[in-house]
Amino acid sequence: MSRNQIVTNASPTVLKMLEQEAKFLTTKRVLFLVIMGGALIFGYYQSELNFPVLLQRGDNIVEYVGGYFPPDFEDWNYYFSETVITISMGVWGTLMAALTSVPLSILASNNMCPGWIVQPTRRLLDAMRAINEIVFALIFVVAVGLGPFAGVLALFVNTTGALGKLFSEAVESIEPGPVEGIRATGASYIQEVVFGVIPQVMPLWTSFTLYRFESNIRSASVLGIVGAGGIGVSLYQSFGSFQYQKVCAILIILVIATSVIDLLSARVRRLLV
């Protein structure tokens, strides 16, 4: 039996499946896959990936990692206090960013503001998240001096760019019905946002903020390398003096702190979302 006869005698369900399959393999999609494959190959050579070298030098890596053990917890109380400072930096950097991202996300949403407001706001958010926290930390160390405050400001700016984008995408995905209903009552624009938008996006906003808080703790742990306070100062000094056993102790404390924060964040997320 020929293909045409099979198609002719097929049920409507089979015909629908064949039609969907035909739509799946379009010229545009094939061209896209070819371009993506070329981009991956180009990136492979540009990145100078050489996995055999990694295997050949495995003995050196094992010997180097062995120098980290046993960890030296002699100054554990100092490391603990510096870790608390690092966590505090993450808390305030995230909190300030979340509060600032709320109005910026509204201004960056196509369904809430005109294009002449949306586009400049989005470009501002792009600039804030495009620059790494360490670069911002270097800038703020010059502006406000050495210490955790520079680190908080660096986290605040970069996190605002990231949360602003995520918050705006959540706003653009809301159901328009509640907002239109509130508008029909003669409510002001602020009332539309407070009573029509925020209740719909609050679960997503909360989840995004908690995730970013966990990420900021990790980022804050290295800002001390450029003088922005926290455990990163001790980490940098221990690396610089080749005291790898102290480095190991610091890393263990950071892993434990991050794990505890992850567990607490998950519990908070279940309560609020």
pLDDT of residue 24: 67
Amino acid at 150: A
pLDDT of residue 8: 54
Tokens coding 134: 């360490």
Query: Average per-residue pLDDT in the chain?
Result: 86
In terms of phi and psi (left: phi > 0; alpha: psi -120 to 50; beta: otherwise), the region of 51 is: alpha
Residues contacting 243, CB < 8 A, separation 6+: 72
Structure letter (DSSP) for residue 109? -
Interval 51-97: pLDDT, tens: 888 777 777 788 888 888 888 888 889 999 999 999 999 999 999 99
Tokens coding 141: 């160390």
CA-based nearest residue to 93, from 239, 209, 232, 250: 209
Residues contacting 176, CB < 8 A, separation 6+: 111
SS3 57: coil
- Rounded to whole angstroms, the Cα distance separating 95 from 107 reads 19
Stretch among 23-27, 221-225, 251-255 having the lowest mean pLDDT: 23-27
Interval 158-182: pLDDT, tens: 999 999 999 999 999 998 888 888 8
Amino acid at 234: S
DSSP string covering 12-49: HHHHHHHHHHHHHS-HHHHHHHHHHHHHHHHHHHHTT-
Q: Decide: 123 and 183 in contact? Cβ < 8 Å.
A: no
- Rounded to whole angstroms, the Cα distance separating 43 from 200 reads 40
Query: Given pLDDT bands bounded at 50, 70 and 90, which one contains residue 225?
Result: confident
Interval 125-150: pLDDT, tens: 999 999 989 999 999 999 998 889 99
CA distances in angstroms from 109 to 45, 114, 159, 165, listed in the order given: 39, 9, 18, 9
- Give percent of the chain above pLDDT 90: 41
- Give percent of the chain above pLDDT 70: 90
pLDDT of residue 167: 95
pLDDT exceeds 60 at position 199: yes
Cis amide prior to 70 (ω within 30 degrees): yes
- Rounded to whole angstroms, the Cα distance separating 211 from 272 reads 13
Q: What is the mean pLDDT of residues 245-265?
A: 89
pLDDT exceeds 80 at position 240: yes
